[in-house]
Amino acid sequence: MKLSVVIPAYNEEQNIGLCLTELRKVVRDEHQIPFEIIVVNDNSSDGTESVIREHMELDAGIRIVNRTTLGGFGRAIRSGLEAVTGDVVVICLADLSDDPQDVVAYYRKINEGYDCVFGSRFIRGSKVEKYPVVKLVVNRIVNTCIRVLFRTRFNDLTNAFKAYRTTVIRDCGTFRSSHFNITLELSLSALIRNYNIAQIPINWYGRTWGASNLRIGEMGRRYLCTVLMFYFQRMLIRDDVVAEQLANQYHFYEK
């Protein structure tokens, strides 16, 4: 199956080059996986686009989506997902925090028959380096609350770095989140539809250049809105959600 890696990038001039080099080295050279890398340049004001285009000249599998309209992490992810042509989608960050070897592990797990693979930084076998203490505490509280609310074993749902079959992305419909709450929208969309989801340990490394654009205070209300929306969908209209899912799948196979 063809692998599509979607990378949102905002002012990542110092990171995106090495990110692309490492991904190509691991995915293509070491594992010979057919792939495309879609980098979404989200209104960058530095040399991010120039670096991406340099790598496009080296590898035809790298593509760029330039966003010049209203920015936002969620909007960038949505633009990347619309451009996907592969069978397996992995969302990966440009800041070198995600391990390319885990991209391959995701792909292999999907090939075992799973619909989605949710990596966790907080189970046995995972490794986390240089995670800011305040964000770590908030992360654990938020994910624990979500896990209890949805009665699920998955304990790192707010992490963007996950893998999905492209059919799952299409079946879940049109995504609406504009910011980092897209991570929950994607995860919970698949979760409430009872897709076959695996959880595996992954590595996470704190960025070495630049600053994260995630602002905990600003995102609280957006995360809460997303969680409540999917909670009530699951509790009150799950029959409609499942019926829509089956209809989408039937339409896909009919084509």
Q: What share of the chain is helix, strand, coil (3-state, %, to 5)?
A: 50, 20, 35
* pLDDT tens readout for residues 89-123: 999 999 999 999 999 999 999 999 999 999 999 99
pLDDT at 213 over 70: no
What is the per-residue pLDDT for 245?
A: 66
Q: Where on the phi/psi map is residue 91: left (φ > 0), alpha (ψ -120 to 50), or beta?
A: beta
Say how many domains are in the chain. Answer: 1
* pLDDT tens readout for residues 52-70: 999 999 999 999 999 999 9
What is the per-residue pLDDT for 2?
A: 97
Short-list 134, 136, 163, 157, CA closest to 145:
157
Query: What CATH number did the domain enclosing 225 receive?
Result: 3.90.550.10
To which H or E segment does residue 162 belong? Answer: strand 162-165
Q: At residue 34, what are phi and psi to the nearest 5 degrees?
A: -65, 130
Strand partners for 127: 203
* pLDDT tens readout for residues 3-40: 999 999 999 999 999 999 999 999 999 999 999 999 99
To which H or E segment does residue 101 belong? Answer: helix 100-111
Q: How far apart are CA 62 and CA 77, in angstroms?
A: 16
Residue 29: DSSP 8-state: I
What is the per-residue pLDDT for 210?
A: 47
The rounded percent of the chain whose pLDDT value lies above 90 is: 81
Domain range for 198: 3-254
- Mean pLDDT within 46-52: 97
Which pair of structure tokens corresponds to residue 28?
Answer: 């293509």
- Mean residue pLDDT of the chain comes to 91
What is the per-residue pLDDT for 155?
A: 96
b (16+ CB within 10 A) / e for 215-253: eeeebeebbeebbeebeebbeeeeeebeeebeeeeeeee
pLDDT at 166 over 80: yes
- Mean pLDDT within 177-197: 95
pTM score of the predicted model: 0.89
